[in-house]
Amino acid sequence: MRPTLRRHNIRFRERLAASRVVAVLRADDTVYFADVAEALYDAGIRAIEIALSTPGALDAIGALRTGLGADAMIGAGGVRKPSDVDDGVMAGAEFLATPIFSAEVLERAQAYRVPVVCGALTPTEIDAAWRRGAAAVKVFPIAQAGGPDYVSAIRAPLPEIPLVPAGGVHLSNVDDYFGAGAFAVAAATTLIGDAADGGSLLKLGERASQLAALAGKYV
């Protein structure tokens, strides 16, 4: 791994460690993303991932970087190919997140010195992502893989790899994930609910505050 990328990865992990939560936004459009992001930020969640599958996602990344505090981290999610890396970086993404392990994506991101939370599931994929320069590894889909017990099982032989379980994180099991050794957690629908489609921001704020408080015990 290039020394400059290593420094960027370390800095990313330090910033993520301040809240231990990545909120994932995806919807049919980005009309409500600014309001949702503000509610998340006010609740104490600083890392926000915008799914590239959402029409207008690239514009939203730039808008949120401008509209939120300097300590917010806005990333591009759903990155699957090198051109997604190019698009996300040009839009201003401070980190990238993938649902899969892709050596090509990691290599392209290294050229930009942009941290990647790389998706992986098996021990082999997780180790490969880490060796290829991932800043952290998103263990996805965690619910189907075994939940907190799976995180604990992965941590035993791979204790140095920062794991971010995704795809099954709920308020009811956040403590279990951190107790199993998760570095952070990623939450989409279970956190955002219908707020990204115009639903209640008040309820979102309540969920986000609860999640931030639970994760804050491990900061």
Instruction: Tell me which residues are annotated as active site.
Output: 49, 138
The secondary element (H helix, E strand) that includes residue 33 is helix 33-43
CB 58 within 8 A of CB 91: yes
Residue 12 tokens, joined: 């990313």
Count of other CB atoms within 10 angstroms of residue 91: 19
Cα 138 to chain center, whole Å? 8
The number of CA neighbours under 13 Å toward the Cβ of 1 is: 23
